[in-house]
Each structure stands twice: as structure tokens, then as C-alpha cells.
Chains A and B, each alone.
Chain A
């Protein structure tokens, strides 16, 4: 059982960075962030089949360019399929309208079918689109991109740098804490702990011997890390220079143009058709 648990933790590949040498990988993270947001908005702008075909084509081109194997992306999506199914089923059965099929107390309507299919398409495009961003961008450059994009918020007292630093530290410590969880779990099992049987209350109680040491360890690490950062002259975002500053290159400008064209196309489809 524990082996399954272990594998489960490692299986969450959804949107984990995939190393490859592609145009998309090399784009500035800000471009990819803006593009992802733009793409998601475009999915809600268009509402006809032609629009979806355009979006699908756009997405397919990007995937092709990114050199991330499609199979790899789909594999990572397994965890989401369940949520997708629920949405589809709800829409399918609960939308009132002209009945197509009726059996027992359930009824599928024409409108329901339409909405369900549309939701499924939208959601899966949305997931594929955003995972394409995380697959082609290291978490660190993603945080860098966010920090830079949100930069103006500094002037309204939003601690942009601090939030970005927190995110990047969190990302670094997730694998360490996962490993630690596994170790503590095993150690408590060796002391006869049982994390699996019993009802919900019993299971929740059984988590105490896992969570207390985990929290203590996380605090200890945070404390150590804060000291190490201070010792290395860390004093917030002021006076700080960047080893890898973000600079737009011609490819990034071209990407913005492509994005703009696509978006304009989507709006045109919505307005004209």
C-alpha cells in the first residue's frame, strides 16, 4: 500500500517542467504568461465551432513547436479527467431543454449535450494550454516573470518581490518535504502506526504522528534558511541585481504579434459569425 502512496506522489507530473530545446522554451516567461491568460480568455470569447477549431489549431501549433510529446502531456492530465467527467455529467443531465433521450428519471437534452461538449472542450483546452506554459517554463523563470509583470503593483504597496521569493522557495522545498513525508510515514509505520484502516475520524487522528514532525521539520528548515539567506546579504528586493534579468528579444516581440493576431481572429469570429 505504501508503495502505491509513493508512486502516487511521484505520478503528479501535471505541468512539471519538461526539458527540451524549443522556440517556446526559449520565450520570455512574461510572454508565456500573457499568452496563457490571453488564450484562456479567448476560449470564453469564442462560442461557435469555428472558434474552437481556430483555438485547437493554435494550441496544436504551440504544442508542436514546444517539442513536448503529446503523450506526455496527456499522461499528466489523468488526475484532472475525473473533475472533467463530473462537469460533463452534471451539464449533460441537469440542463433543462428539449429532451433527446430519456431513461428512468434521467434525461439528456439537446441544450445539455451542447453545453456539456462545450464545457469539456473549453476545460481540456484550458488545462492543456496552461500546462503547456508550466511544461516549457522552469518554475523559477515563471516566478521571475510574475515578479516582473506584477512589478507596477509595488507602487500600491503589494510586496511583489517577497511573494515571488516565497513562491520560489516553496517550489524548491516541495520535493524535500515530500521525501520527508514519506520517511516519517515509514518510521511511524515501523512503530505500528496505521494510516489506512478505520473511519474518517480515526484516519484523521492517525495523521497526528505524521503532521506534527512534518511541521516541526518545516519550521526548522524555514529558520535555517532564513539565517542562511541573511548570512548571504539578503535584505529584500532593494539594491538587488539579477543574474538572469528578463529582456525581450525579437522572438518575444514576434510571439506577441502572433498572439495579437490570434486574439484578433477570435474576436472577429465572435463578432462576425
Chain B
């Protein structure tokens, strides 16, 4: 069993009208089965309302399945005695950078998690230092979060999670409210965590360029897992992605269009280098 495993994970909620009468039941997550290996970089894609955020909140035991089971490091999230262990092992970073920073000083915010866990004072300081260094925010430790850019705030939030020494970190659209620079900063920090510290990463996003480096990609639609595979496998299915109204990097799209026009390019091209190489090979033949 991997670090995160689900068995027919289903989450339903009841919609009510203004008088509180039941209007209907929505299945936000519908029978999801997956198994995530320790140390992997996982991306979960899908447009708004596809159920990806609802799914993410199950990993941290913020939501509980209405049917099926989810295990985090072998612990069933519905088992109350594991609640705090699960929240410590599976840290979570949310979308809005302003609404998840609690401390009034960067270092105080990063120390918040360890404080809650009852870590001794000296160790909190060590953890805060190493976490802030891991995301490159150490020099800002005395700053007020209000003075930071969006990307910096998200890196502080990530540091706040790392300081809890999790095995796995779930990022729920961490870049949705950032500009391109901030997005790059955050993704770079996340990749470093995965590469250097070996922390399992589950990145929920709708930006395609952020998933290129993932080990595994799951595409969600209407609560189901609609596609799964490596980024290359996913990106070679351009038409399906378009149908799901997801973006495809321009280079992948261009290669796809050229293929349709009879140019013999391989499917699933992800980078400009790959594209120019492949095109050079083709034009060399002609």
C-alpha cells in the first residue's frame, strides 16, 4: 500500500433550498480508486467543479468519505484516534495566500504547526529555520506576511507545512491567484521539496505547464478519474483534453496540429527542445 490509497472513495453532499428542503444530492467525488507511492510527484488536473479540491480535502481528514475508504500511510482517515497523526503526515496548502497565514511574522507562522503538535521550543526554532531555508524565505523570517508578494506568501505557507515534518504535502491550487512569476517560484519550491527531501507531493492545479514534471497525472471530471498516466501519456491525448476543456501547452498543441497535417511528429511532445529536435529529424528526412 502506498502513502495514499483510496478504495471507491465517494463524497456526496445534500443540496438544500432556502427553506432547508432537500433539493438533491451531489456526488462531488465518485468512486475514486488510486494508490500513490511514497516519494512521487502527483498532479491532479481538472476544471472547477470536477471534484479535485473535494478529493484533496479527504487526504488531510478535513472531509470524510460518505462511501469507500481512504488510507493515509496505512491509517484510515475515519479512525478518530489517527486524526492528528494524519494531519501531521499529510500537510495541506490552500489556494488563497492571505487566508492561511496565521502569524504576524513569517517565522511565527511557520512555527504555528509545530507549536500545535507540542514540539519543544528549541526544536521549533530548528524546524522553522530549516523549513524557511528549504523554500528560500529564510531572509524574510522577521517580515510581516502582509508585505510579501503572493508567491512569497505561498512559499511561507509551504514552509509552515514542512515544519510539521510531513510525509506528504497536498497543494490545492496553490498558484491559482498568483501571477506568472509567483507561479514559477512556488512550483520551483515544490519540485525542490520532492527532489531533495523526498516528500510526496500531490499538486492540484488547472495549469498544464505545472504538471510536466510530475511522475503521474490524474485528470478528474465530474468526480471521476477520467484519465491517468505519465504527463507524456496524458499530453498525447490532445483531443480528449480539449473535450475536458483543459489547456494544452502551445508546443504540444502545435505538434498535434502538424501531425494532423501529415507531419510525422511523435505524440506527447512537452518541451520546445523536443519539438525542434523532432522537427529537425522530420525535415532532415524530407
B99 at the interface (CB under 8 A from A): yes
- Asked if A242 and B84 make an inter-chain contact with CB atoms under 8 angstroms apart, the answer reads no
Once A230-B87, A232-B160, A232-B161 are accepted as A-B contacts, the answer to whether A225 and B102 lie under 8 Å apart by CB is yes
- Asked if A232 and B99 make an inter-chain contact with CB atoms under 8 angstroms apart, the answer reads no
- Asked if B103 and A176 make an inter-chain contact with CB atoms under 8 angstroms apart, the answer reads no
- Asked if A243 and B84 make an inter-chain contact with CB atoms under 8 angstroms apart, the answer reads no
Inter-chain CA distance A175–B101, complex, in Å, is 13
* Interface residue ranges, B against A (CB under 8 Å): 60, 62, 84, 87-88, 91-92, 94, 96, 98-105, 107-108, 111-121, 124-125, 128, 145-146, 160-161, 164
Question: Interface extent on A, as a size class?
Answer: 20 to 34
A240 at the interface (CB under 8 A from B): yes
- Asked if B105 and A233 make an inter-chain contact with CB atoms under 8 angstroms apart, the answer reads no
30 contacts between A and B (CB under 8 A): A138-B104, A140-B104, A172-B145, A172-B146, A221-B98, A224-B96, A224-B99, A225-B102, A228-B92, A228-B94, A229-B102, A229-B112, A230-B62, A231-B60, A232-B116, A233-B87, A233-B113, A233-B116, A234-B112, A235-B116, A239-B116, A240-B118, A241-B114, A241-B119, A241-B120, A241-B121, A243-B108, A243-B121, A243-B128, A244-B121
Which B residues are CB-close (under 8 A) to A239? 116-118
Which B residues are CB-close (under 8 A) to A176? 98, 146
Which A residues are CB-close (under 8 A) to B60? 231
- Separation in Å of the A162 CB from the closest CB of chain B? 14
* Interface residue ranges, A against B (CB under 8 Å): 138-140, 168-169, 171-172, 175-176, 220-221, 224-225, 227-235, 239-245
Q: How many A-B residue pairs have CB under 8 A?
A: 95
Once A140-B108, A243-B114 are accepted as A-B contacts, the answer to whether A224 and B100 lie under 8 Å apart by CB is yes
Which B residues are CB-close (under 8 A) to A171? 104
Task: Classify the interface of chain B: helix, strand, loop or mixed.
Answer: helix
Task: Classify the interface of chain A: helix, strand, loop or mixed.
Answer: helix
- Asked if B112 and A241 make an inter-chain contact with CB atoms under 8 angstroms apart, the answer reads no
- Asked if B102 and A169 make an inter-chain contact with CB atoms under 8 angstroms apart, the answer reads yes
Q: Closest B residue to A139 by CB, please name it.
A: B104
Inter-chain CA distance A241–B118, complex, in Å, is 5
Inter-chain CA distance A244–B125, complex, in Å, is 9
- Asked if A232 and B119 make an inter-chain contact with CB atoms under 8 angstroms apart, the answer reads no
- Separation in Å of the A246 CB from the closest CB of chain B? 11
Which B residues are CB-close (under 8 A) to A231? 60, 62, 87, 91-92, 94
**Given A231-B87, A231-B92; 14 other pairs, CB 8 A cutoff:** A221-B98, A225-B99, A227-B62, A228-B99, A230-B87, A234-B112, A234-B116, A240-B118, A241-B115, A242-B121, A243-B108, A243-B124, A244-B111, A244-B121
Output the residue of B101, B104, B146 with the most chain A CB within 10 A: B104
Which A residues are CB-close (under 8 A) to B105? 138, 140
